[in-house]
Amino acid sequence: MNILRVIASLDPRQGGPVEGLLNTTALMAQWGHHTEILTLDPPSAPYLAAVGHKVHATGPNIGKFGFNGRLTPWIRRNAHRFDVAVLHGLWNYAPLGAWRGLAGGDLPYVQFTHGMLDPWFNTVQPIKRWAKQALWLLAQGRVLHDAKTVLFTSEEEGLRARTAFIGHSYAGRVVAYGAADIPDQADEQRAAFAGKAPQLNARPYLLYLGRLHPKKGCDLLIRAFSEIAAQHPHLDLVMAGPDEGGTQAHLQVLAAENGIADRLHWPGLLQGSAKWGAYRDATAFVLPSHQENFGMAVAEALASGTPVLISDKINIWREVAASGAGLVEPDTLEGTRALLTRFMALQPQEQASIGRLARACYEKQFSLDEAARDLLRVLEWAAEAAR
């Protein structure tokens, strides 16, 4: 098949949606399927050189919404070269511009929402909620309505999305979603991570890995860690991820106020071997997020055989809990404290047992191979239905 994928940006700092797109694209290429990626990125964006697939960068853009006059005409000129399109994300010009270019044509498309219809955002952004509702009625809802299907990565995501906005129905389905497996390069990975966090000096650590953003509950983790730090004097906390909107500075002040600044490490965005090295030797991976559509980092930790300590606002929490791959608590200070306290009270052999169950959970439910095959089945169905 010839597949077109449309996304606002391929910047790796955007996290799971970019990781998922590139991972499944690479695997489909091995199976003989050709993919091209259309983005709002400027052609000069440095991260595009490492993508490894054909990218059409239509930036620069106007405003935060990303409007530009090049994306829609590009699709109208090139749609005939593809069998199916995949639109990624909402609330930016990439899916809207793609929809405009596809309207009235023969190229079918499916839409990934990537958790962007979660009603949690309406709660914390009440003013934006009404602006989004207006945009939903004018255009965004029509993008989903006209799609062959709207793709969700869990039943939980699909159910929550139905309550976000009124107007414009759509057909939805759940597809498998997963993460790449950890490469068998342990020594290289450990060395790469050690180079990013030299002050850690082989001390045991809890790992947070993701954007440093208020949505992720990073402040809860630092406060909860400060409450158990005295009982576990040899345990450190690694806060790995790109800063977003000055959040890191706020968190570092919080750590200093709670007397644990010397126990925290800030290696920034981790990729490749350094990322896998961080997962590989972590005592546990912790994500007390207030909202998480899937949690790519959770799946990567599971692939690494690392126990996961997560909130019940991560849409795959039921699978984690049922498999015994980690612990689950509410996204509150009390819940985050309970995650750390309960896990650190376990004997080493009990923690190791959870790690083995984490790996088994990944293999059964979140492998990249099954995610790519499931998406491919949907794309073949959409292309055939259009014919």
**DSSP string across 28-86:** HHHTT-EEEEEESS-TT-GGGGGS-SEEEE----BTTTTB-SSHHHHHHHHGGG-SEEE
Q: How far apart are alpha carbons 69 and 71 in whole angstroms?
A: 6
> Taking all residues of the chain, what is their mean pLDDT, rounded to a whole number?
94
What pLDDT is stored for residue 76 in this prediction?
Answer: 97
Residues forming beta bridges with residue 243, ordered by sequence position: 212
- Extended strands (E) in 204-339: 205-209, 236-240, 264-265, 284-287, 308-311, 326-329
Given a cut of 90, is residue 162 above it in pLDDT? no
Choose which CATH entry (3.40.630.30, 3.40.50.2000, 3.10.580.10, 3.50.50.60) describes domain 2-178+368-386: 3.40.50.2000
Residue with tokens 């309406």: 122
Question: Residues of 12-37 as b/e, b for ≥16 C-beta within 10 angstroms?
Answer: eebbbbbbbbbbbbbbbeeeebbbbb
Residues 21-48: pLDDT tens digits?
999 999 999 999 999 999 999 999 999 9
Domain 2-178+368-386 identical in fold to domain 186-365: yes
Given a cut of 90, is residue 166 above it in pLDDT? no
What pLDDT is stored for residue 293 in this prediction?
Answer: 83
Q: Which of 132-136, 152-156, 167-171, 222-226 has the highest mean pLDDT?
A: 222-226
Residues 70-96: pLDDT tens digits?
999 999 999 999 999 999 999 899 999
- Residue 119 neighbours by CB under 8 Å, 6+ apart: 160, 163, 164
- Extended strands (E) in the chain: 2-7, 34-39, 54-57, 84-88, 109-112, 150-152, 172-174, 205-209, 236-240, 264-265, 284-287, 308-311, 326-329
| φ, ψ (nearest 5 deg) of residue 289 | -65, 150
Q: Provide the H-helix boundaries in 117-203.
A: 120-124, 126-135, 141-146, 155-161, 186-196
Parallel, antiparallel or unpaired: strands 84-88 and 284-287: unpaired
Question: Residues of 366-384 as b/e, b for ≥16 C-beta within 10 angstroms?
Answer: bbbebbbbbbbebbebbbe
- CB atoms under 10 Å from CB of 106, counted, come to 9
Q: Where are the domains of the chain?
A: 2-178+368-386, 186-365
- Extended strands (E) in 248-350: 264-265, 284-287, 308-311, 326-329
Q: Region 266-282: what's the mean pLDDT?
A: 97
In this structure, the dihedral spanned by the alpha carbons of residues 31, 33, 34 and 38, taken in order and rounded to 10 degrees, is: -110
Q: How far apart are alpha carbons 76 and 162 in whole angstroms?
A: 31
Query: For the CA atoms of the chain, what is the radius of gyration?
Result: 21
Q: What's 183's DSSP letter? A: P
Q: In Å, how far from its chain's centre is CA 295?
A: 5
Assigned architecture for domain 186-365: 3-Layer(aba) Sandwich (3.40)
